[in-house]
Amino acid sequence: MRDPPAADFDGLSDSRSGDFAESAPAAGDPGRADSPKDLDQELSRVRAQLQEAQSQLLRGLADMENLRKRTAIEVANAHKYAVESFAESLVPVLDSLELALKVDKPSVEALKEGAEATLRLLHTAFGKHHLLAIEPVGERFDPNRHQAISMVPGTSVTPAVAANHVVTVLQKGYLIHERVLRPALVTVAQA
């Protein structure tokens, strides 16, 4: 077995040492620091650089921890108050219903008008927050948006409905943006 060749370390510099390698005189240089006083000064300078680097590292770590904590608080608040805007838009609906209940002897016509006004407020609130009704009569059955309750022959309804298409909606479904909040309960035409 052969011994590895002897390494020649004279003249090599470690690129990771940065300022230290550049400022330290190489062995054999005429300006080499030989005296204990020069070595003490060099050691003090290197220690000061090390202390500054450690201080910068600790500040960076503290900044990262503070950012992590702030972000966690912001995410928690976003979850906590996510429905705030929607809730604000429902307050007029609540006001309208409470006013209707305070009327001593409402007429049928007044109750109907009040219910229609309240429904308009609710539709406005839903529209403002992209809450849309799924009313799929005549559309092709989509299991992602519809829930089939029963099937009927497509020829038994007027007008006739193609197979696998929605015949009637028993309960509206709702989307919030493109996500299904509640599927529509439907009757589907069979072949």
Q: Tens digits of per-residue pLDDT, 23-50?
A: 555 555 555 556 889 999 999 999 999 9
Q: Which residue has the tokens 């838009």?
A: 89
Using the Cα atoms of residue 147, residue 150, residue 155 and residue 156 in order, give the sign of their dihedral: negative
**138 in a structural domain:** yes
The pLDDT, as a whole number, for residue 106 is 82
If DSSP codes are grouped into helix, strand and coil, which group holds residue 188?
strand
pTM of the predicted structure, to 2 decimals: 0.57
CATH number of the structural domain spanning residue 160: 2.30.22.10
**145 in a structural domain:** yes
Q: Report how far residue 130's alpha carbon sits from residue 189's, in angstroms, rounded to the nearest whole number.
A: 30
**153 in a structural domain:** yes
**107 in a structural domain:** no
Domain limits for position 158: 131-191
Q: Looking at the predicted structure, is the pLDDT value of residue 139 above 80? A: yes
Q: Radius of gyration (Cα) for the chain, nearest Å?
A: 39
**187 in a structural domain:** yes
* Per-residue pLDDT reduced to its tens digit, 75-133: 999 988 888 888 999 999 999 999 888 888 888 998 899 899 999 999 999 999 999 99
Q: Are 188 and 138 in contact (CB under 8 A)?
A: no
The pLDDT, as a whole number, for residue 27 is 52
Q: How many domains does the chain have?
A: 1
Residue 46: closest CA among 14, 15, 24, 16: 24
Mean of pLDDT values over 66-73? 97
The 10 Å Cβ neighbour count of residue 12 is: 9
What secondary structure letter does DSSP report for 16? G
Q: Helices 108-128 and 84-102: crossing angle, nearest 10°? A: 180
The pLDDT, as a whole number, for residue 62 is 97
**87 in a structural domain:** no
Residues in the chain: 191
**100 in a structural domain:** no
Q: Report how far residue 15's alpha carbon sits from residue 63's, in angstroms, rounded to the nearest whole number.
A: 28
Q: Which helix (H) or strand (E) holds 146?
A: strand 146-153
Q: Report how far residue 164's alpha carbon sits from residue 140's, in angstroms, rounded to the nearest whole number.
A: 6
